[in-house]
Chain A
Amino acid sequence: MDKIRDLFRESFDLDPASAVDDLAYRGIPAWDSVGHMRLVAALETTFDIMLDTDDVLDLGSFAKALAILRKYGVEVS
C-alpha cells in the first residue's frame, strides 16, 4: 500500500510525507488529465499490468485505484 502511495506522490509531485488516501481526480491541480495518465503509466510499469479504457476512466481516487489494482491481481493488502 505504501508503494502505491509513493506512486501517487511521484505522479502528482507531492511532498513525500503528504497524505494521499483521500485524493481524487481534479481534487488537486496536479491530478489533471496529464497527471492522470502519468499515474496510469506509473502503476502499469510498476506492477507490469495494462489497464483497459474503462479502468483508466474509473481510476478516479486512491480508493478506486486500490480496487482496480486488486482486480489485476496486485497485492495491495
Chain B
Amino acid sequence: MVFGLAERGTATGPALLEPASGTSLSHAELHHRVTGQAERLRDMAKGKSLVMLAFASDTDSVVTYLAALEAGLAVMPLPPQLDQQRLAELIALYRPEIIAGFLAPETDYEPAGPALRRRSQGPAFDCRDTPIHPDLALLLSTSGSTGSPKTVRLTLAAVEANARQIVQALEIGLAERAPTTLPLSYSYGLSVLNSHLMAGAAVILTQEGLTSRRLWQSLTDYGATSFTGVPASYQLLCRLDLEALAPPSLTTLTQAGGALAPAHLNRLRDFVGRRGGRLFVMYGQTEATARMAVLPPEDLPYCPGAAGRALPHGRIEVVDDDGAPLPAAAIGHIRYRGPNVMMGYGESRADLALGDLLGGSLDTGDLGTLDAGGVLWITGRHKRMAKINGLRINLDEVETLAAGFGLVAVTAGDETVQVALVGADLPGPDQRRDFARRLGLHSSQLRWRLLGQLPLTDHGKVDYAALAEGP
C-alpha cells in the first residue's frame, strides 16, 4: 500500500492523532480505513480520474488523500478555506470527476457518499476526451497565496521517493510525532505527513494557528517531538517564550521556505542545543515534490545561512547558461537531479495527459554556488519570483492580475511586491486592499509606484533589474 502502510499494518503505534476530536488511528486502523475508502473511490471513478480535495488537517481528509493515491487516481489537494469563485475557476480548468470535502456546484455534481461528490453525466463535461496519464498521482499548486491555477504534476514514485529521502535525512524513527503546523495543501506541509507515515511514525493533525494556546496544549498533551516551519513561523516563535511553550518532548526543528534571519537561526540553535535536540535547515521546491537538500545539524555551526547538501539519491549541480557544470565556488544556475523531480507543469485538464517531460532533472530557477565541501548556498533567483512569508509569488502572474489598473510592471522587493504603474492614477485604498487580499498579502506588502514610463532593455523589453533597483 502507499507509503508502506500495509507493511506497518501490524504496528499498534499511532499513525494519526487528532486533538480536536480526541480520536487516534493506529497504522493498522489507518490501513483499514484507507482500503475501504479506496474501494469506494475506485467504484465511483470507473477509470483514471481526478479527485479535487479540500485538504483540511483532519483524519477524514488524510484518509481520502491516501485512498485516492491507493486507488491509482490523481489527487489535487487544495486549501479547505478556498473561496467559491476560485474553486469554480479550478473546476472549470481541471474538470475533476470527483470532489471531496468542498461543496461542489450542484448543477454538475451529485452527492456520492460522505463529503464526496461525483460529476453528473452531462454535455458540459465529457471525461472520455480528456484522459489522465496513468503515472499522474498528485497535482500540487505552485503557489499558495495567489491561488495560481498552475500545478506541478507528480508521480506516486516521486512522492514516495521524496518521503523516503526525508525519512533518511532526518532520521525519522517510529517514536516521532509531528504536528501539522503548515497546511497539508502546501508541498512542505504535505511532506511532513508523507514522510512520517513512511517512517511508521505519527502525525498530530491540528488546524490551530501558532498563536493559539490550544495548539501548544495539544503539542504537550500528545507529546510532539518536532516542529516544522517557514521563516515567518520561526520569526513568530522567536518573539514568544519558546522554552515555556514547547513541551520537553519537542527536540527537532525543521525549517525550509527561504533563509532564516541570522538572529533567529542563533536563537533556535541555542534552543535545541539546551535540550539536546537538532535543527535541520532544508531547501526545497514543489517542483521536486517538496525537498531537495538538508543542512545536517553538525554542519550548521560552520555554514549558517547555507541551503545544505542534496538529499540521499539526489544530486545538486551548479551550471552555466548553457547547462555545463561549473567548478566549486562559481555562481550559476542550480540544477537538481533526483527521483522526486516532477513530470512537468500542468495548466489545465489537457496537460494531465502529458507524461514525464523532465527526465528527473530540474532547473530550480535559483542561483547559487557549491562550496569546496559540497554545501549549497543560494545567492539569488533567476525566475521572476518574490518570496513573502515563505510562499512563492509569481511576479508575471501578479502582473497579469494587475493589468486592469493600466500598464504595469511588477518586481520583488524585500518581503514586498512592487507594482509600478505607468500613466495611471494610484488606485484608492479600497482597491489596494482588495488587490493585496487577492494575492494573499497585507496591503503594506504591496508597494505602489507611479512612473512616467517603464525602463526598457536594449531589446525593448521591460528592464526589471533597473526597475527593482530604481528609486
Contacts and interface: CB of A to CB of B under 8 A. Distances in A.
Interface residues of A, number: 20
A16 B239 CA distance: 29
B437 A13 contact: yes
Interface string A35-59: 1111010000000000011001110
A75 interface: no
11 contacts: A13-B437, A16-B429, A30-B442, A32-B209, A33-B209, A36-B211, A53-B241, A53-B245, A56-B211, A56-B239, A57-B212
Q: Would you list the 6 A-B pairs with minimal beta carbon distance, nearest first?
A: A33-B209, A53-B241, A33-B210, A36-B211, A33-B211, A57-B213
Given A36-B211, A53-B245, A56-B211, 20 more contacts: A13-B436, A13-B443, A15-B430, A25-B209, A25-B211, A26-B209, A26-B212, A30-B442, A33-B209, A33-B212, A34-B236, A34-B442, A37-B211, A38-B442, A40-B239, A53-B241, A56-B239, A56-B240, A57-B213, A57-B240
Contact of A53 (B235, B240, B389): B240
B447 interface: no
Q: For the complex, would chain A's binding face be called helix, strand, loop or mixed by DSSP majority?
A: helix
Main secondary structure of the interface of B (DSSP, over half): helix
Interface string B206-244: 000111110010000000000000001001100111001
B241 A52 contact: yes
A17 B304 CA distance: 47
A56 B442 CA distance: 20
A14 to B, nearest CB: 8
A16 B443 CA distance: 13
A37 B209 contact: no
A51 to B, nearest CB: 9
